Amino acid sequence: MDIFESLPLEGIYDVRILCGGDVNDAYKVYARGGEYFCLVQKNARKNFYQAEVMGLKLFEKNNIKAPRVISCGLVGRDAYLLLDFLEEGFVGDFRDLGRLIADLHRIESPNGQFGFDYAYHGSRIIFSNTYKDTWKEVFLEERMDKLSALLLETSLWDESRYKTYEKVRKIIEEALDKHTSRPSLLHGDLWSGNFMFLKDGQPAIFDPSPFYGDREFDLGISMVFSGFDKSFYQAYNKYYPLDEGFALRLEFYKLYFLMVHLHKFGSSYKTSVDRAMDKIISFKG
């Protein structure tokens, strides 16, 4: 069955393929009621998009600008997610984006725990997101330890690199034990490809991998690739000041993101991961 014939839209008159992303097929759908964005994951399980849907609905509930969920479901063996289409405007103020992310991070887990109702599913990896009492359990034990084991199993790391990770792990554990984390609602994949400025200049975020975690996680990830203006960080810190010692902890989340890319895309990220681990070991503040 054609997935577009099953969408809850009337008068579809055009469907165009969109570029970008390595996990889903993406389309712009033109219908009588307006323009829509449709993601399709082929040969997917029924609840493939449930974490993203829940995150986007939480964004909407708390006035965090993001695409609105229209519908999601399964047609045959293919899952789809239908969203309203946000028109990019290209010009905006990064200070507004900093405030938007600060507002997002002020939303906290209703049960006071770290995790999420649904697991994280990347293209080649799954993190359970099972609720835990501490951030260390979610980040270090579920994500970092699992990633390091996978890198070793796939020969992207040798024993020497794994021993370096063990040194880094000790530093991360000691730092997180000293830091008081709060379970903030995170975007979970906050790089420059997942935000835009709309035609009215206001910022919006999209394509989340949401869970409740330490807010510094999002900020660290945002620093790995270019795309965030300095004023973004200044505005964020003005609206929601970071705690002492954040500079070192941000390096943990940069390393995590690079390890994900090493696992996902291969050895081209080895040098970047090595440098990130060396920086943590030799960190001077």
Percent of the chain clearing pLDDT 70 (strictly above): 98
- Give the tens place of pLDDT for each residue, 8-36: 999 999 999 998 666 789 999 999 989 99
Q: Are strands 78-84 and 69-75 parallel, antiparallel or unpaired?
A: antiparallel
**Is pLDDT at 1 greater than 60 in this prediction?**
no
- The answer to whether the beta carbons of residues 213 and 183 sit under 8 Å apart is yes
Q: According to the model, what pLDDT value does residue 48 have?
A: 87
- List all residues 6 or more positions away from 6 whose beta carbon is below 8 Å from its beta carbon: 73, 75, 80
DSSP string over 103-164: HHHT-B-TTS-BB-SS-EE-SS-EE----BSSHHIIIIIIIIHHHHHHHHHTTSS-HHHHHH
- What would the CATH number be for the domain defined by 3-84? 3.30.200.20
Q: What are phi and psi of 198, to 5 degrees?
A: -80, 180
pLDDT at 285: 67
pLDDT on residue 44: 84
| Overall average pLDDT of the 77-98 stretch | 94
Read off the pTM. Answer: 0.95
**Which tens digits make up the pLDDT trace of 154-189?**
999 999 999 999 999 999 999 999 999 999 999 999
- Grouping H, G, I as helix, E, B as strand and the rest as coil, residue 219 is helix
Q: What is the predicted pLDDT for the residue at 180?
A: 97
Burial grade of 119 (CB within 10 A; 0-12, 13-18, 19 or more): middle
CA dist., res. 236 & res. 195, Å (int): 15
Instruction: Say yes or no to pLDDT of 75 above 80.
Output: yes
Provide the angle, in degrees to the nearest 10, between the axes of the packed helices 145-153 and 159-178: 180
Instruction: Specify the fold of 94-281.
Output: Aminoglycoside 3'-phosphotransferase; Chain: A, domain 2 (3.90.1200)
Backbone angles phi, psi at 141, to 5 degrees: -80, -40
Res 21: pLDDT: 60
| Same fold across 3-84 and 94-281 | no
Q: What percent of the chain is modeled with pLDDT above 90?
A: 87
pLDDT band at 124 (very low <50, low <70, confident <90, very high): confident
For residue 279, what pLDDT band results from cuts at 50, 70 and 90?
Answer: very high
Closest CA to 215 of 181, 174, 259: 181
Residue 280: is its pLDDT beyond 60?
yes
Asked if 118 and 47 touch (Cβ cutoff 8 Å), the reply is yes
Task: Look at residue 233 and give its three-state secondary structure.
Answer: helix
Q: Which residues are catalytic?
A: 189
Per-residue CA distances from 210 to 51, 59, 99, 185, 214 (Å): 7, 10, 18, 7, 12
Q: What is the mean pLDDT of residues 66-71?
A: 97
- Residue 78 per-residue DSSP state: E
Name the residue among 261, 162, 181 with its Cα closest to residue 221. 261
Q: Which of 160, 136, 155, 188 is nearest to 277 (CA)?
A: 160
How confident is the model at residue 274, as a pLDDT? 98
What is the CA 131 to chain-centroid distance, rounded? 18
- Average model confidence (pLDDT) across the chain: 95
Instruction: Read off the pLDDT of residues 135-152 as tens digits, 9 standing for 90 and up.
Output: 999 999 999 999 999 999
Mean pLDDT of 78-88: 94
- Domain residue ranges of the chain, discontinuous segments joined by +: 3-84, 94-281
Quote the pLDDT of residue 82: 97
pLDDT reading at 195 higher than 70: yes
Mean pLDDT, rounded, for 77-82 = 93
Q: Decide if pLDDT at 71 tops 80.
A: yes
pLDDT digits (tens, 9 = 90+) for 212-244: 999 999 999 999 999 999 999 999 999 999 999
For residues 255 and 222, what is the distance between their CA atoms, to the nearest angstrom? 12
